[in-house]
Amino acid sequence: MLTCVLMPLATLLGAGSGGVSTAPTMLEIFWQGIEVPTYFIVVGSFVAIALIVEHFLTVRQSNLCPPEQVRRARQFIESRSFRECLEHLRRSSTFFARTMTAALLHARHGFDAMHAAAVEKSAELSARMFRKVEYLNILGNLGPLLGLLGTVWGMIEAFGELGAAGGQASAGQLAGGISKALVNTLLGLALAIVGLGFFGVCRNRIDALTVSATVAALDLLEYFRPSPAARPGEPATLERSSPSKPVPQPSVQS
């Protein structure tokens, strides 16, 4: 992918010479500088682009914490339709829905168990998302190393040709071999810039969106916090309900 991006630029740079000089164009240097490590850099570039595209398609507010879903869950809880709320959230695979579902399934154990279940589920889902973007960090760190490997590979070949010629190669020929070897360094650095740059962006997006979804879930769980007058160990009830009416205990068991 990086090669496809750099090739048009190399063509323009090569065309800028006007065809007067006999020096090889940038495009020719790129093609001649392809070594075995170059293929690994190109494959890593495709993987990095795929991870970036997949991230921006899946890690969005509409997929993690849709405002409409939060509003519907709040309406169910305020109307004490706990079973309907659980069934509604079970049909969704969003971050918010899965966190709330884990909490509601522990309603019979009390508010503290619900809160702990929500926090644990949120941490599990967040870690899974962070592990996926960690591959961008790995590719970004491997890029310069692969580029250096390709450069050393090219330098070995260049000096091997110099030795085979009995040391009679001109400085121009040696400089040409070195320029080809440096192609891998350039591609490796490009992979590192893209990988590490987007790793930081994706990591911050995941952190912001997952924290927002977790806060929304924990805010709804406050409805289940027992009133100060409740006895220790009593199942969670709706604290925000009207004191003039008896408050039924939530029944959301599967």
Per-residue pLDDT of the chain (254 residues; tens, 9 = 90+): 544 444 444 444 444 444 444 667 777 777 877 888 889 999 999 999 999 999 999 999 999 999 999 999 999 999 999 899 999 999 999 999 999 999 999 988 999 999 999 999 999 999 999 999 999 999 999 999 999 998 888 888 777 777 776 666 666 666 767 777 888 899 999 999 999 999 999 999 999 999 999 999 999 999 998 876 555 555 555 444 433 344 444 555 54
70 assigned to some structural domain: yes
Q: Name which of 152, 141, 133, 138 is nearest 188 in CA terms.
A: 141
184 assigned to some structural domain: yes
Q: Name which of 148, 97, 126 is nearest 202 in CA terms.
A: 126
Number of domains in the chain: 1
67 assigned to some structural domain: yes
Question: Directed axis angle between helix 67-78 and helix 82-90, to 10°?
Answer: 160
pTM for the model stands at: 0.74
151 assigned to some structural domain: yes
88 assigned to some structural domain: yes
How far is the C-alpha of 191 from the C-alpha of 140, rounded, in Å?
Answer: 6
Cβ count near 57 (within 10 Å): 9
**∠ CA 193-199-202 to the nearest 5 degrees?**
135
What is the span of the domain harbouring residue 173?
Answer: 25-224
138 assigned to some structural domain: yes
How far is the C-alpha of 103 from the C-alpha of 115, rounded, in Å?
Answer: 6
How far is the C-alpha of 123 from the C-alpha of 103, rounded, in Å?
Answer: 13
91 assigned to some structural domain: yes
For 27, 54, 64, 226, the CA distances from 58, given in Å and listed in that order, are 37, 6, 9, 37
12 assigned to some structural domain: no
